Structure 1
């Protein structure tokens, strides 16, 4: 049964073992790590039990992702390698949410202690966002989004399969003690922030965690967090919902002040029988992929023209040594595409598919290259029909892969044709499969608004506007929601400032050479 524990956490470190690259496959994750098979398997189990624990605690049903829509995690090595990859001195790990290609980058796998290395809190925090967005159809206020992620992130994983959730967020101790206070009213009303303006140096994150934790465990407040969430889902503003669910907010603020000063806090202990997981497989990658994975990591991180050419040189060298490895050739196809060499990308993808017709990345990269070539074709209709063939083959291999659905819709938009009903349904389905991809949700919401589906469009755009990291897209989505509030259901609507849908769609699969204001942390 579910138990409650009282604890003050302490961080511990474990020294990673050195090994060859391994790949772990589980229900929700793919992990690549240059660590021992035992450590990679343990890390994979921790993440799956973390997912199961969040599902149990929140009582949310989450659709199992298709294989290519799982989160792929690359353990890049030392902290020095991480900082070089991130291009920042202040990043312990980072994550990009993309339909059919969500990726996260973390340092070495350090799982033997049952408590993940401190840097892994970033991964758990971002995956909590990934889970909460994917399991909710309404836009959460920023405090609830960040407070929930902070609530789940300091998890612990004893060796018996148990998971401890709701542990003290010790990484917020200094903030709560020394940073300027955010009032309870500001906590409920604060939205995202504008990058470039600087993140406010106050206790918003710590206070959000504390409130989420308090409302979860305080007996006198039982059921109020759920009531608040239901009010938000019904359309109430955050401050109004807070007053309705929590009552006197000044009293709540004082209660929270006392709560954070306690030396012992409650948390959940979930035994393995409450959070069962499916089997995990771990394999050592081929010699060719062992050499190619450092190249792949740099590619997946995002490229500009200069880095794409550097990566391509390395990819060609590895591929020359392993011409019979389909995975290596698919990675070469990706590097050729990123460098702008469409014909070479198609040739490399075809070579991979000749060895193994089920290599999905080869189909994806061939489709990307054919689509880009189709933009310049004399007979656009025939060219885009041909460009859809790799995606159709991909759909046969994996019916719920979002990219074939997205590109079918795109095959109409990019040649200036009105998408048919099947194409429109395909885009909506892709957005359902990948609720964490805000660009995709933005495009689906605009499409629905053009069809006169005003209520559905506002619902689809809601999570985009509520992005806790703010950004241009969040501001635009909120403006569209506000404008749609004045539009009658059934009325076809377009935003006052026209959006180039081709650019929006292309951005879904674009790689970035620096952090996008709407992605990562």
Structure 2
């Protein structure tokens, strides 16, 4: 079923410094892991609340699958979710997180995960998981406002154990913003690539509120939902967003604002749907005592922006934790990551070697060790030594792949190891990049690297598919301009060769 058809059917029914890991006043807590079909949820709370939360996530996944389909959703990497007890714990993982923010979702080359305060703001994770799900479903051509509006639309959804689902429920916070705030011009909303195009914090809040209201208005009526499908196809084909809007709906932006304000002031209806009851299989295990002091600093150290990190403090924390838990793989991997990033590479290798002796299938340890070996090969002057070291790195990555066949980081590292080869990219290289993006369509930098490889291999259509979500990423980022340039290069190459 096409997206436009599903839309018609709908109408019917962030990183930074670090505080000490051993925070005074925080009592020791047992960390548990709950694993289900699509999630791995970690929590230092009770087992019952952990099981309940994991089941709610699986039911929400079932709702999205019922609305948007996608059998491939059952063959993706499980999303890690960390649940903590309060803001103090959350800010060990993200110390400079703004006040009032109760969690965040991150998709980077180091990991894809969500972390939030238990019971504080479930809407946040449902919003971000909608983005996550839509990326897995291959829906990367949505305009910024609709991508955010759709995530807001589903963020208030509920799904009972019997499968009774309600979605499109009113969002009190967004309604208040619409009633009290100064609206952005609708033309600006339609043209904006995402919230990053809006200068002020207040304006960005209105961007989300108006995107939610516009999406709600469109999906509340079958005729408007049908026109929305036409509009999305036009914008996806490259037509100007405002021109496409007026052609699809016959409403000028000013008139649209008037209608939308009246709609937002009225009674908002929501949709209901009965999906098959979901009783997920959930396996819960108690994790090692090291988790209580190690995991949140380790999450911090996975930030993709090292220049914004308080590296020396994190390094000291990791050394203290590893000394306290010298035979714990998690503590040793955390030390290895910190030493490699801010300390002594030899100490990093020693820590990781010991971690892999304790837990040979530790994927993060294997990835970090492979990185160290690859960096060592770059310093070698003898080709035989270079080949030997790279062979060791490949073997480490193959071990990681055997341990976790759906880990995008392994495929990306394998592909990058090959970039210096004379015959790069081979068909096998392109397949490796395709697997990396299959399991991490949310990581824009990997999509960009894969697209460049596809271009080098003459597979322009696949490169366009990879680049389009980067250009349409509602959160922006440095890759947007590069993706636009690469798309322009592809268009130029096609014009020069006369190919479609």
Contact 1:455–1:489 (Cα < 8 Å) also in 2: no
- Please identify, of 185-194 and 364-373, the stretch whose mean Cα deviation from structure 2 is larger: 185-194
Contact 1:358–1:397 (Cα < 8 Å) also in 2: yes
Contact 2:28–2:292 (Cα < 8 Å) also in 1: no
Q: Matches of 2:496 and 2:448 in 1, distance apart?
A: 19
Question: Partner residue of 1:308?
Answer: 311
Residue 420 to residue 487, structure 1, CA distance change in 2 (3 Å): closer
Gaps in structure 1 of 5+ consecutive residues: 7-16, 111-116, 494-521
Residue 194 to residue 266, structure 1, CA distance change in 2 (3 Å): closer
Question: Partner residue of 1:326?
Answer: 329
Residue 289 to residue 471, structure 1, CA distance change in 2 (3 Å): closer
| Post-superposition offset of 1:179 | 2.5
Question: Partner residue of 1:364?
Answer: 367
**Is it true that 1:452 corresponds to 2:454 in the alignment?**
no
Question: Partner residue of 1:265?
Answer: 268
| Post-superposition offset of 1:222 | 4.1
Contact 1:4–1:269 (Cα < 8 Å) also in 2: no
Alignment of 1:387-406 (within 5 A): 387-406=393-412
Task: Identify the match of residue 136 of structure 2 among 112, 134, 137.
Answer: 134
Question: Partner residue of 2:98?
Answer: 89
Question: Partner residue of 2:113?
Answer: 103
Contact 1:449–1:492 (Cα < 8 Å) also in 2: no
Q: Matches of 1:396 and 1:489 in 2, distance apart?
A: 43
- Please identify, of 120-129 and 323-332, the stretch whose mean Cα deviation from structure 2 is larger: 323-332
**Is it true that 1:49 corresponds to 2:59 in the alignment?**
yes
Contact 2:406–2:439 (Cα < 8 Å) also in 1: yes
Contact 2:161–2:277 (Cα < 8 Å) also in 1: no
Q: Matches of 2:305 and 2:42 in 1, distance apart?
A: 20
| Post-superposition offset of 1:376 | 1.3
> Which consecutive aligned stretches of 4+ in structure 1 deviate over 6 angstroms post-superposition?
2-6
Secondary structure of 1:64's aligned partner: helix
Q: Matches of 1:488 and 1:219 in 2, distance apart?
A: 39
Alignment of 1:166-315 (within 5 A): 166-192=168-194, 197-199=199-201, 201=203, 203-249=206-252, 252-262=256-266, 264-271=267-274, 273-274=275-276, 276=278, 278-301=280-303, 304=306, 307-315=310-318
**Is it true that 1:70 corresponds to 2:78 in the alignment?**
yes
TM-score (norm 2): 0.83
Q: Matches of 1:292 and 1:18 in 2, distance apart?
A: 12
| Post-superposition offset of 1:392 | 0.9
**Is it true that 1:472 corresponds to 2:485 in the alignment?**
no
| Post-superposition offset of 1:168 | 1.0
Q: Matches of 1:478 and 1:3 in 2, distance apart?
A: 33
Contact 1:99–1:434 (Cα < 8 Å) also in 2: no
Question: Partner residue of 2:20?
Answer: none
- Please identify, of 252-261 and 24-33, the stretch whose mean Cα deviation from structure 2 is larger: 252-261
Q: Matches of 1:469 and 1:293 in 2, distance apart?
A: 27
| Post-superposition offset of 1:466 | 0.8
TM-score (norm 1): 0.80
Secondary structure of 1:488's aligned partner: helix
Question: Partner residue of 1:506?
Answer: none
Secondary structure of 2:157's aligned partner: coil
| Post-superposition offset of 1:456 | 2.7
Secondary structure of 2:473's aligned partner: coil
Residue 136 to residue 380, structure 1, CA distance change in 2 (3 Å): same
Q: Matches of 1:196 and 1:219 in 2, distance apart?
A: 31
Secondary structure of 1:106's aligned partner: strand
Q: Matches of 1:74 and 1:360 in 2, distance apart?
A: 18
| Post-superposition offset of 1:27 | 2.2
Contact 1:22–1:32 (Cα < 8 Å) also in 2: yes
Q: Matches of 2:28 and 2:322 in 1, distance apart?
A: 25
| Post-superposition offset of 1:25 | 1.4
Alignment of 1:420-435 (within 5 A): 420-435=426-441
Measured against aligned partners, the alpha-carbon deviations of 1:479-504 in whole angstroms (never above 9, x if no partner) come to 332343333179599xxxxxxxxxxx
Residue 302 to residue 474, structure 1, CA distance change in 2 (3 Å): closer
Q: Matches of 1:223 and 1:277 in 2, distance apart?
A: 34
